[in-house]
Every structure is written in structure tokens, then in C-alpha cells.
Amino acid sequence: MATLDFDKLKDTFKLHNHTPKVFIFPFLITFISSSKMFIFYKLNQYIPIWDKFSQADGNATTFCELNHFDQLIVQPSNTWSNIGFIIGGLIILGIAKNDTKYYGKNTINNLLTKYPHFSYLFGGTLLFLGLSSFIYHASLTYFFQKLDITGMYFVLISAITYNVYKLFPYIRFKNVVYSSHKFMIVCGLALMLFFYLYLWKLPLNIVFPSLVLVFFFMNLYVYAKVKHSIPIKGILITSFVTISISFTFWILDKTSLLCSPSSPFQGHALWHILNATNIVLLYFYYRSEDFIPEEMNVLQPKSK
């Protein structure tokens, strides 16, 4: 039964040469690593190590969870809830690795399969976000706050980069048409660097939600504009509902409307879990897209 179910997933999400291991291993690796870290944390819980670092500012101390500055992990729930990002990043990176090794990927009518670079970008930024947010909430230090904020922008930029590529998939050079995917990825990486160096201090509570709205409207535009794209729209709707709920919990937590500081159940932690789910849903929404081969034959010379 499990094999039959995975066969359906392979057809729907273009998981051609993949096996269930691509999902099992990230969970297993993260579980083993997290268990070791949790044991280390419990053995050293009351040993503060972050007091010599510059403390984070802005939103850092406005979360509902009680801040344990005298302990190894300052915000336990908000820290451990980042594991979802890590699992999602490892899953996508595993898929990217298998796509790279698959010699028949050019026969699959899906851009993520044809060009695994985008999956590496998605998975790498998601893993970066998970690790940086984990350490940020564990320490509430200024440097890791910067990494956490830039990680959020990195994931969003990765998705925007992919959508822009779908709108402008070709570059013509010396009368030959090429795929623009490498150019788009370089532009996306350059924009990430720009955010890391200069733009990360923009008002996060305004800029990030605004970019999220722009991104979702862009998805709807691409869905209508790119006629040869036939994704599962229900996944995009589910993703939108998920992120709407996560924003609701973020607001309730930040404004203390739903707040119990000493409880292990925190609104910001739920924000992490729902956003990890949302990003993975988006990735598989893109893997559900189909493209007509003739329209994606980008390496043919263009007639004069």
C-alpha cells in the first residue's frame, strides 16, 4: 500500500528516480541530531553562554515566551519549533540531489526537475533559515537575529526568483535562445547578498508581510499568464490559508492577546511550524506543474 501511494506521489510531483528514503532520511537525521542536542541541553540547561554577545533588539524580547537569559536556551519553544524548517530543507535538498543524478530529467515536463539549481536554492535557503532561527531564539543575540531575518528574506527571494524565471524563461544570444535559469539564480543570489549587507534592517513587520502578499499575487498572475503551466491550484490555496493562520498566531503572540509565557505552547513556535509547512507545500505546488515540451525547447536557434 505504501509503495502504491508513493507511486502516485511520483507521478504527481515528478519524483521520477526517487524513493521514500528522500522523505524518511531527513526526518531520521533530524530526529537523531535533535535528540543529541536536547540531551546536551538538559545536561547544561543552567549554563548561560550568550551573555558576552551583543543582545538582539527590535522584536527580540516582544514574543510571549518567557526569556531565560540565565539558561543555555533563552526561548526553548521558539527554538525547537525551527526543526520543521530543517526537515523541509533537507527533503528539498535530497530531491535536488536525485534530480541532478537523473539523466532523463530533460524529458520531464517540470522546471524544478529540469533545473535542480532552483531546488538547491529553495532547500539551501530553507535549511539556512531553520538553523539561523534556531540559534537566534536560543541566544537572542544580535548577529543571529540578522541571520534569522535575512533567512526569511532568502526563502522568499528564492520563490520569487523561480516565478520571475517562469515569466522570462529565455535569453537570446547570437541568434540562439537559451534558458535564463542560471542568470535568474545569480540575480536571486545577488539580491540575497544585498539584503544581507544593506536591507535587513528595513522595518520587518511592514516589509516582509508586504513582500509575502506581492509573492502570492505573483503566483496567481503566473498561473493565469503562463498558459502551459498546469499546477494543482488547491495546494497554492492551502499554502495561502496556512500562512494566513500563521500570521494570525504571530500577531496574537506579539500583542500578547494569546499569551502564557511559561507554557511550552507558544504562538510564535506555531508560526514556525506552520511556515515550514507552507514553504514545503509551495515547493510541491511547483513540482506539480506540467509544461508542454515544444514550448520549453529553449536551445533551438531562432530564425532570422
Neighbours of 206 (CB within 10 A): 9
pLDDT in tens, 246-301: 989 998 998 889 899 999 999 999 999 999 999 999 999 999 888 654 444 444 43
The per-residue pLDDT for 65 is: 96
More confident residue, 239 or 157: 157
What is the mean predicted confidence (pLDDT) over 27-42? 96
Is pLDDT at 89 greater than 90 in this prediction?
yes
The per-residue pLDDT for 296 is: 47
Beta carbons of 128 and 82 less than 8 angstroms apart = no
Beta carbons of 152 and 129 less than 8 angstroms apart = yes
The per-residue pLDDT for 58 is: 83
pLDDT in tens, 90-118: 999 999 999 999 988 878 888 899 999 99
Burial class (CB in 10 A: 0-12, 13-18, 19+), 149: buried
pLDDT in tens, 119-169: 999 999 999 999 999 999 999 999 999 999 999 999 999 999 999 998 888
Burial class (CB in 10 A: 0-12, 13-18, 19+), 180: middle
pLDDT in tens, 185-195: 999 999 999 99
Cell 537575529, residue located: 145
The per-residue pLDDT for 213 is: 86
**If pLDDT is split at 50, 70 and 90, which confidence band does 172 have?**
confident
- Going by CATH, does the domain composed of 17-296 fall within 1.10.10? no
What sign does the CA torsion over 215, 217, 218, 219 have? positive
CA distance 162 to 168: 10
CA distance 139 to 3: 43
pLDDT in tens, 58-85: 888 889 999 999 999 999 999 999 999 9
Residue ranges of alpha helices (H) inside the chain are 2-13, 21-43, 76-80, 83-101, 111-114, 117-139, 142-167, 181-194, 204-225, 233-254, 267-287
Coil, strand or helix at 176: strand
The C-alpha cell that represents 61 in the structure block: 524580547
CA 104 to chain centre: 27
Give whichever of 74-83, 201-210, 225-234 has the largest mean pLDDT: 74-83
Any idea where the domains of the chain sit in the sequence? 17-296
CA distance 244 to 75: 24
The per-residue pLDDT for 293 is: 43
